[in-house]
Amino acid sequence: MRYQSFLIKYAEIGVKGKNRYMFEDALVKQIRLALQAVEGEFEVVKETGRIYANALSDFEYEDALAALKRVFGVSAICPLVQVEDLGFEELKKQAAAYLDQVYPRKDFTFKVDARRANKQYPKTSEEINRDLGEMLLETFPGLSVDVHHPQVMLHVEVRSRINLYSQVIPGPGGMPVGTNGRAMLLLSGGIDSPVAGYMIAKRGVVIEAVYFHAPPYTSERAKEKVVELARLVSRYGGPIRLHIVNFTDIQLYIYDQCPHEELTIIMRRYMMRIGERIAREQKCLGLITGESIGQVASQTVQSLAATDEVCTMPVFRPVIGFDKQEIVDIAEKIGTFETSIQPFEDCCTIFVAKHPVTRPDIRKIRHSEGKLAERIDQLVETAVETAEVVDCGRR
């Protein structure tokens, strides 16, 4: 089937008044950006409370559909066939040809749902429904009509041209990126943090990311893996500016000065502090992590409290209540899983103690951090100043 256009549906619940225009304009913008990466030329237009992506040239249908399925805010995508209004007899032929091509097996129940934007059309919607329905029953004897729960609803929109569609392909839902501020994702090479970034981007938040790299303990390959993960997440939320912070000297200093069972917690507190500094410089309003209660020693409720204590920005932890398998399922769905499980060490595993504290006492942690007084400010300063920036993803 050759489609000429897509009708893009979006959920409007809670999006009213002025916000609705913001929502729609942001969605149009994101759809345009997504289609830029697809072969072919498109115009994206808002028309009477609907959004259409019209092809202006030949295009790669599967690629266009895949791109639209990644645009947050889209609840469904309906590929359209547009026919010229050449009289009702011609429309009958076109409607039959449409069903013939889209549905190889003609054994379903259906209903015709006509709408006229063009009120000059010689038939009413009711007449179109009835006459097209009759014709389809005659043409395809295996079909039957079910007006309440049809398996196929053939929509016929009579405008200056006539749109035919029946397929409603689910989109990702969520809110268009750009409608909800900006946040900084602490992105490691693991499974959880890319999923966390995806989930917050899905709520309309622009994502930036920071990765703590510890050469030579973490390899160049580990860094490339994180860059690739940022690129994969950017296919949904748009380009991600990734800040790569050299964390080696800070880790070694903590390793030298502090009790080893507290290393992970203290390191994580410094990741949050540095993440927050870069976040503030980049006008981010929150931090995002892939933490989930109880997953590892550094994610017990006590450890999370100890990590949280150093943050003044809100920390968004969208997978906090998820089991690992639930996170894996999302990672697979969004296409980050295969990259995440490539076996490159991340900086935490190298310095991890045999018996890390699982119930850190915040006063003790603060006391241990006191031993870093001499050099830590300078080391943090240098780490922030020397951060490398990599722009990941389209645009």
**Which residues are near Mg ion by CB under 5 A?**
188, 190
Which of 75/300 has CB closer to Mg ion?
Answer: 300
CA distance 183 to 282: 9
CB of 275 to ligand ATP, least distance (A): 7
Number of amino acids touching ligand ATP (CB under 6 A):
21
**372 forms part of the interface with ligand ATP (CB under 6 A):** no
The stretches of the chain forming alpha helices (DSSP H) are: 17-36, 61-68, 88-102, 125-139, 192-201, 220-237, 248-257, 263-281, 301-308, 324-334, 337-340, 347-350, 362-370, 376-385
**Binding letters toward ligand ATP, positions 236-275, x by CB under 6 A:** -----------------------------------x----
By CB under 6 A, tell whether 190 contacts ligand ATP: yes
Binding mask 293-322 for ligand ATP (x = CB under 6 A): --xx-xx-----------------------
Which pair of tokens denotes residue 154? 């053939």
With beta carbons less than 8 A apart as the criterion, state whether 386 and 221 touch: no
Q: Specify the residue, 157 or 291, whose C-beta has the smaller distance to ligand ATP.
A: 291
Residue 5 touches which member of ligand ATP, Mg ion, none, C-beta under 5-8 Å by kind: none
DSSP code string of 223-237: HHHHHHHHHHHHHHH
CB 382, CB 228: distance < 8 Å: no
CB 213 to Mg ion: min, Å:
13
Residue in 347, 357, 383, 392 binding ligand ATP, rule: CB under 6 A = 347
24 contacts ligand ATP (rule: CB under 6 A): no
Residue 171: closest CA among 69, 85, 241, 78: 69
User: Counting Cβ atoms within 10 Å, is residue 64 exposed (0-12), middle (13-18) or buried (19+)?
Assistant: buried
Q: Residue 188, interface with ligand ATP (CB under 6 A)?
A: yes
User: Based on CB atoms, which residue is closest to ligand ATP, 8 or 200?
Assistant: 200
CA 363 to chain centre: 39
- Least distance between Mg ion and beta carbon 296 (Å): 9
Write down the least CB distance from residue 240 to ligand ATP, Å.
13
- Give Cα 137 to chain centroid, integer Å: 42
Q: How far apart are CA 303 and CA 295, in angstroms?
A: 11
The verdict on 192 binding ligand ATP (CB under 6 A) reads yes
Query: What residues make contact with ligand ATP under the rule CB under 6 A?
Result: 186-188, 190-193, 210-212, 271, 289-291, 295-296, 298-299, 346-348
